[in-house]
A and B are shown apart, each in its own frame.
Chain A
Amino acid sequence: MNFLNLLKVAIRAIASNKFRSFLSMLGIIIGVAAVIIMMAIGQGSKESVRKNISQMGTNIIMIRPGADMRGGVRQDPSAMQTLKMADYERILEEKAFVTHVSPEVTSSGQAIYGANNTSTSMYGESVEYFDIRQWTIADGESFTEEDVRKSAKVCLIGKTVADELFPNGQDPVGKTIRFKSIPFRVIGVLKSKGYNSFGMDQDNLMVAPYTTVMKRLLAQTYFSSINCSALSEEMTDQAIEELTRILRSNHKLSGDAVDDFTIRSQQEMMETMSTTMDTITIILVVAAAFSLLVAGIGIMNIMLVSVTERTKEIGLRMSVGARGIDISNQFLLESIMISVTGGVLGVIVGYLGTLVCTSFGLPTSIPMWSIFVSFAVCTLIGIIFGYFPAQKAANLDPIEAIRYE
């Protein structure tokens, strides 16, 4: 029998048992919808994390003191003091693939203005910090090289700090606030960056010249990190090589001595995050896919019932000349039709479900390929779980089948 006629027979068989067909489709609908929603959430979260990381700035390279900690070995505290002023100066002198450099020292504590106080973090940075992080100043201005040289007690504050200390909408610029009892004159307010995907408030900070924080606040001579930006994304690797060479030579590390610092690029972070998100997505999708397996078994069950019910019809078809393959194709197509129709409905339900998730604030994004994969999987389920019932039908003895009551 040709395909078109087989299709008509399959549609008629499904239509003559609408409710039962729908029930067996239901499993597929739920399964596919679940897979689509999980993939959409996975993909959406990944994109939102990516966006957050890229919000940190462009082509950032972070240098931290101490050897690579990914092995989990504890290090001597002195090992965390390897980044010094000399390193910063040498990088400034020799940089070729690196554009901006900012050493960083941090301290957390209370910021006070009048009767208001808030706990926040103070970041000591160079002037180039704002270029690296692509942070614009909403109000006021940045500190200057001059401020850095003089260790001037000036600072910029994040939106959150501004709101906490100046709740009545006063202009913070020009006011003097205290951080850990040291007075700082506010010279600017940073543009709000909001929360990142880890739920961290990116606006709860103060930024001052690194010299000020090192000398006047912490009295320390080492940096907690150095942040740089590469000339371009493609040149990130060259920039890392360059920084490694400079630091190794500055730290007099020869031959196979292990680096006493760690360099990470934003790209690398993004990849690590992506891998993590992918793993989570896979786990979610696999869980959802199990419901498809169950749905497939449901289809097989209904097809076996259908074969038994239609034994007489099968016998008749065989007696008028249907071959085994004609019969098995008929039932195979029927089960494929059920699962693919279920798949189509599942994609629709999944799409609607994704909209609901979005309205609850979950980051979602349906990857196009997940829809195609759903169809492919549904066809496959139809074939796999329809195969056994179809074979059963094809192997019926026509004489017994036609006498079946």
Chain B
Amino acid sequence: MDEEKKVVIELQNVKRYFTVGSETVKALRGVSFKIYEGEFVTIMGTSGSGKSTLLNQLGCLDTPTSGEYYLDGVSVRKMSKNQRAKLRNRKIGFVFQSYNLLPKTTAVENVELPLMYNSKYNSRQRREAAVKALEAVGLGDRLNHKSNQMSGGQMQRVAIARALVNDPAVILADEATGNLDTRTSFEMLVLFQKLYREGRTIIFVTHNPEIAHYSSRNIMLRDGKIREDTLNENILSAEEGLAKLPKTQDD
């Protein structure tokens, strides 16, 4: 690992316990790692291993029970709710499994949403940034399509554009291909690899082990602890994977 590279995320022995009734559920039992700028990290593990809980920590949606989390050099643990909201707005882009687009709303408007909560952007700048992000995901010609007129793959592209629009320090994806068929999943991977090549930092949570072949680093979770943390020396090309798939008529 290149120590010269900028550290985007640093976890120090992060624990997250939930109290359910009289029992304590230990979702994260002490997780430590550093993620450097420009890495494409997959986080894998079986259901219940703590992936989502970890991603919520990274996304500043939740705070650890103990341990330290630095995002872009800033300690998140002691931040207020509003400070964390601002941090999410400026430094993080989320991609969800179920797209979460606003209903009956056009692609551009959906992509503009994060910038609505950033007073530094006026409406013209917002529109420009949204169009640019949509072009980056290959939807430059679908700007005014409404969310309910789009296919799953298109919706997820819009969601990725929305995650890109604020030029975040890290893109967090939770099972981003979980609702998509194999072919569309590969198309998404092609897109993520493109973003990776452009230097974006990506953390991709999945339970599908195959996807780890396409990322630069893989972290395995089990019972709230890191089992493995390996760099991928031989990153497969998603484009080639897509080409090998049997051809179908539909998009």
Contacts and interface: CB of A to CB of B under 8 A. Distances in A.
A321 B100 contact: no
Q: Is the interface of A mostly helix, strand, loop or mixed?
A: helix
Interface string A299-317: 0000000000000110111
A21 to B, nearest CB: 15
A323 B85 contact: yes
Interface residues on A, range: 20 to 34
A399 B117 CA distance: 19
Contacts of B102: 313, 316
B22 interface: no
Given A16-B104, A398-B61, A399-B61, A321 B81 contact: no
Interface stretch (B5-13, B88-96, B133-141, B191-199): B88-96
Contacts of B56: 399
B45 interface: no
Given A316-B102, A402-B100, A323 B82 contact: yes
B25 interface: no
B87 to A, nearest CB: 8
Contacts of A312: 100
Given A1-B117, A2-B119, A326-B117, A320 B90 contact: no
B85 A318 contact: yes
Contacts of A322: 85, 117
B114 interface: yes
B113 A317 contact: yes
A319 interface: yes
A323 B81 contact: yes
Interface in A1-53: 1-2, 5, 16
Contacts of B62: 399
B59 A319 contact: yes
A140 interface: no
A5 B116 contact: yes
Interface string B99-140: 010111000000001101111000000000000000000000
A321 to B, nearest CB: 2
Contacts of B86: 321, 323
A321 B94 contact: no
Contacts of A353: none
Contacts of A16: 103-104
Nearest to B82: A323
B92 to A, nearest CB: 8
B15 interface: no
27 contacts: A5-B116, A16-B103, A16-B104, A313-B103, A315-B100, A316-B100, A316-B113, A317-B113, A317-B117, A319-B59, A319-B61, A320-B88, A320-B89, A320-B94, A320-B114, A320-B117, A320-B162, A321-B88, A321-B89, A321-B90, A321-B118, A322-B85, A323-B81, A323-B86, A324-B81, A399-B56, A402-B96
- Sort A-B residue pairs by CB-CB distance and give the 9 closest, nearest first: A321-B89, A320-B114, A321-B117, A323-B85, A316-B100, A323-B82, A321-B88, A398-B61, A319-B94
Interface of A: 1-2, 5, 16, 312-313, 315-326, 398-399, 402
Interface of B: 56, 59, 61-62, 81-82, 85-86, 88-90, 94, 96, 100, 102-104, 113-114, 116-119, 162, 166
